[in-house]
Each structure stands twice: as structure tokens, then as C-alpha cells.
Amino acid sequence: MKFDWQHRGGNWIAEMPDNVTLVVSPDALQGFSNNPKRGTFWRAQASHWTPNANGVGGTMSRFGRDEYNITHKKRIDAIKAAEKIYLDAVLTT
């Protein structure tokens, strides 16, 4: 499966089918910029968006395992973790 990671703000995001979004975010940014601080740790997560029936607003919830408390020293390691969270959740449902 191909993941299309895009840099948005200080985060890296991959949009998946069925309103699922993978996010990799740094623990700290440089001042008011969107650049991660040198040596920052990275976190991985997968979220699912459920829109309201009336089309206005909705609810964001965790998708798959909750590993947000696990930090990674490198962004690429967090990206791999987010991809694994997604694939494990998709393959078990």
C-alpha cells in the first residue's frame, strides 16, 4: 500500500480512504515557526473523522491502537509506526 505523506504545518499527514488520517507530529517546534526543534521526538497516530448527519461538523476519534504516548527519535520511525497502526487496524477489521 502506498502512503502519500505531505508536510502540513509542523506535521506530516497521509490521507487514507474512509476518512482516516495518519499524523506524525513533533514534540516541539522552533519558536513560532512550523519547523521542528533539533533533536525533537516524534509521535504517530491515526484518526477517523465521522461527519455529522447534517453535514456540519463531526467527531474525530482514534483509529487503531493508541500509541501517542510512544515517542520516536526520528520522523521516519514515527511514519513507519503510523503506517503500521493503520495497516494493523485495517487487516483486523
What is the model's pLDDT at position 93? 63
- Domain membership of residue 1 (yes or no) is no
Share of the chain above pLDDT 70, in %: 99
Question: Cα separation of 44 and 53, whole Å?
Answer: 29
Are 13 and 5 within 8 A, CB to CB? yes
> Rounded to an integer, what distance in angstroms lies between the CA atom of residue 45 and that of residue 12?
11
The C-alpha cell 520516536 sits at 72
Q: Could you tell me the pTM of the whole model?
A: 0.87
Q: Which domain holds residue 59?
A: 6-92
pLDDT at 57 over 70: yes
What is the number of domains present in the chain? Answer: 1
**Contact predicate 49/63, CB 8 Å:** no
Phi-psi region of 69 (alpha: psi -120 to 50; beta: other; left: phi over 0): alpha
Residue 60 lies in a domain: yes
Separation between Cα atoms, residue 62 and residue 49, nearest integer Å = 9
